[in-house]
Amino acid sequence: MNQLGRWLIITVFLLAAAEDIFANTDEAQKAILVTGASSGIGLTITEYLSANGYYVYAGARKAADLERLNAMDNVSSVRLDVTVQDDIEAAAEFVKAQGRGLYGVVNNAGVGVGERTSEASIELIVWLHDVNVLGPVRINKAFLPMLEESRGRTVAIGSISGHAADSATNGPYAMSKFALEAYTDSLAIDLKETGVTVGIVDPGGFKTSIHRKAALRNMTGIYDLNQDLTKEQQAELDAKTEWMSSLNEPTAVAEAVMHFMSNKSPRPRYMVAPIKAHADRAINALMTRLVQLNAEQPFQLSRDELVAMLDDFLEESE
């Protein structure tokens, strides 16, 4: 083999080695914070992301939950109550000190309650918004510097109820989820120039602890559920939540979060409905508001104009 042939072989070898090095750099494990990771949707998201190449900082409040999460592969538990600023600041310092950076935030922590809108106390409404709306606001503010550095992503777990306030006992919860929709839409515009991508995942009814906790709140009137139950209360709670056994596990919600975090062109909004009726509920509510908003106003659009507008939106989304 002549000298030129040897140099060609060496050059090819070096290029291949460099390609491997750069590939490994590009595929460095990305870290994601998940709030409310102790159970339900948050735990499923934590398990799914950590099993699919991400390192997860899993936020929870109780010592037993923190210990259980910390024992998982590719997971570090973080003491985190999204209503406590000291917790949030300490969590941000902890994540920063780990040296991995932070690519994503999943604002999952949330609470629910079934209460008639006219009868709900101000205390209840404030509590729901403190967790479901101000929680994500506080978390994003604290972790935004790290997200800007990584040009990362933040997603909120909303709800179909954020589009459909169609039940007398769903109003206070729906209020908070409607507000979360507005927050994420405005934040996406606000952060567009920073390179941080913002989205929201809107699940329907899945098998999660939020239903059981809501039933318990209705039974006891207590919002912080660390109290022990009597045998009678436990039996009543089991009877009230027996219907939950027919619900689907929230794996599809975790898959939507994975798509948002990993896809080159994530969607700003994901509806994850376990059954058609849940999807229809949200779309019907949106269509009803559209018709009501358009009716008898100076610039009312005709049916043909509405259809043409819809066609334009569908074409842009393809």
Residues with a known catalytic role:
173
Q: Measuring CA to CA, which residue among 85, 63, 95, 61 is closest to residue 134?
A: 85
What are the residues facing 79 on neighbouring strands? 60
Give the CA diameter of the chain: 90
- Cα–Cα distance measured from residue 199 to residue 46, given in angstroms and rounded to the nearest whole number: 18
Please report which residue ranges of 151-208 form alpha helices under DSSP H.
171-190
**Beta-carbon contacts of residue 267 (< 8 Å; ≥ 6 apart):** 199, 259, 260
- Cα–Cα distance measured from residue 310 to residue 268, given in angstroms and rounded to the nearest whole number: 18
Tell me which DSSP letter residue 72 carries: S
- Cα–Cα distance measured from residue 312 to residue 168, given in angstroms and rounded to the nearest whole number: 35
- What Å distances lie between residue 94 and 74, 217, 230, CA to CA? 16, 33, 39
> Three-state DSSP class for 36?
coil
| 180 within 8 A of 163, measured Cβ to Cβ | no
